């Protein structure tokens, strides 16, 4: 029972982080049909911005609890600004192009951002470890867990709930769903699609950067972070179904639990099992578990 509990909680913690990363990626694809490879850069920018801001904050000798607000504010602000620059500066010119072209363009942006990050922050690792230990530890079933990690589960649940409510229970969300199903008809009835695109991309970039900011206290923030993360996020959204928030959540949970089981039972296959889950799902559901319906043109 102790082993099962460890797998369950470790899996949910990892799944929570995966979902926060993947939510922005799948949201942008669902609305704009852009498989944004540069999403990994937003994650890295959020992590670097959070680590830098937290380090600066503690050098000032200010109250320690304020570091959490600084971490979140720095990560989200950096991600939204970077997202707006990319969308307004490059992607708006390419809206409506073939999805393969958009993948290649955003992959190029990812590589550019990797070099920009090195120019701004250098190649040394950054650490923002202080917030990670401030919340203490808890014992569950004889096992000890860091409270910071447990709170990540709550944060992911709140983000999932907010996205569901925003898409299904608000006027803006319903307009967004109309754009998802038929962009041309949405434009014909007067919906400002361009504004929705800007808002969606900014939210997606902010979520990616938020995931980086939340991860920063638990990792060493170093170059190459974005490329590692985009591969994992891609596995989650493909498993769940491109463009589906529910799919991203279920895909993250499946992959998180599978990875936790591998880490605790057979560590040698930890990396393989992530893509093994994706492969097994795609064999039976080629478009993912919750693939969005596509309109058939007559």
CA distance 243 to 245: 7
What's this model's pTM, rounded to 2 decimal places?
A: 0.93
294 lies in some domain:
no
What's the pLDDT at 260?
Answer: 94
298 lies in some domain:
no
198 lies in some domain:
yes
pLDDT band at 298 (very low <50, low <70, confident <90, very high): low
254 lies in some domain:
yes
The per-residue pLDDT for range 274-283, each reduced to its tens digit, is 999 999 999 9
293 lies in some domain:
no
pLDDT, mean over the chain:
91
CA distance 103 to 28: 13
102: pLDDT strictly greater than 60: yes
Number of domains, the chain: 1
pLDDT band at 37 (very low <50, low <70, confident <90, very high): very high
Q: Which two tokens stand for residue 226?
A: 């974005």
295 lies in some domain:
no
Dihedral angle of Cα 261, 130, 66, 10, to the nearest 10 degrees: 10
pLDDT band at 293 (very low <50, low <70, confident <90, very high): low
- Sequence length of the chain is 298
264 lies in some domain:
yes
The per-residue pLDDT for range 123-176, each reduced to its tens digit, is 999 998 999 989 999 998 888 999 999 999 999 999 999 999 998 888 888 888
266 lies in some domain:
yes
CATH of the domain at 247: 1.10.3470
Question: What is the span of the domain harbouring residue 14?
Answer: 2-284
The per-residue pLDDT for range 207-234, each reduced to its tens digit, is 999 999 999 999 999 998 999 899 999 9
Q: What is the mean pLDDT of residues 254-265?
A: 94
pLDDT band at 243 (very low <50, low <70, confident <90, very high): confident
95: pLDDT strictly greater than 70: yes
What's the pLDDT at 74?
Answer: 96
What's the pLDDT at 121?
Answer: 94
297: pLDDT strictly greater than 60: no
Q: What is the mean pLDDT of residues 230-248?
A: 92
């Amino acid at each position: 029972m102790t082993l099962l509990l460890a797998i369950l909680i470790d899996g949910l913690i990892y799944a929570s982080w995966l979902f926060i990363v993947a939510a922005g990626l799948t949201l942008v694809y669902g609305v704009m049909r852009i498989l944004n490879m540069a999403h990994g850069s937003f994650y890295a920018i959020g992590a670097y911005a959070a680590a830098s801001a937290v380090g600066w904050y503690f050098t000032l000798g200010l109250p320690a609890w304020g570091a959490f607000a600084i971490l979140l504010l720095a990560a989200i602000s950096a991600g939204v600004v970077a997202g707006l620059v990319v969308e307004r500066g490059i992607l708006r010119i390419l809206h409506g192009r073939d999805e393969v072209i958009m993948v290649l363009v955003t992959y190029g942006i990812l590589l550019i951002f990797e070099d920009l990050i090195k120019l701004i922050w250098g190649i040394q690792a950054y650490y923002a470890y202080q917030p990670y230990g401030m919340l203490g530890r808890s014992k569950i079933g004889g096992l000890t867990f860091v409270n910071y990690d447990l709170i990540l589960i709550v944060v992911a649940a709140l983000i999932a709930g907010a996205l569901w409510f925003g898409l299904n229970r608000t006027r803006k969300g319903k307009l967004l769903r109309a754009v998802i199903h038929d962009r041309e008809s949405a434009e014909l009835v007067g919906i400002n699609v361009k504004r929705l695109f800007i808002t969606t991309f900014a939210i997606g970039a902010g979520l990616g950067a938020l995931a980086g900011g939340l991860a920063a206290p638990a990792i060493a923030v170093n170059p190459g972070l974005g490329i590692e993360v985009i591969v994992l996020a891609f596995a989650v959204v493909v498993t769940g179904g491109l463009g589906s928030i529910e799919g991203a959540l279920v895909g993250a949970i499946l992959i998180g639990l599978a990875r936790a089981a591998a880490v605790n039972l057979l560590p040698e296959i930890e990396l393989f099992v992530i893509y093994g889950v994706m492969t097994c799902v795609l064999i039976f559901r080629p478009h993912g578990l919750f693939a969005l319906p596509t309109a058939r043109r007559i």
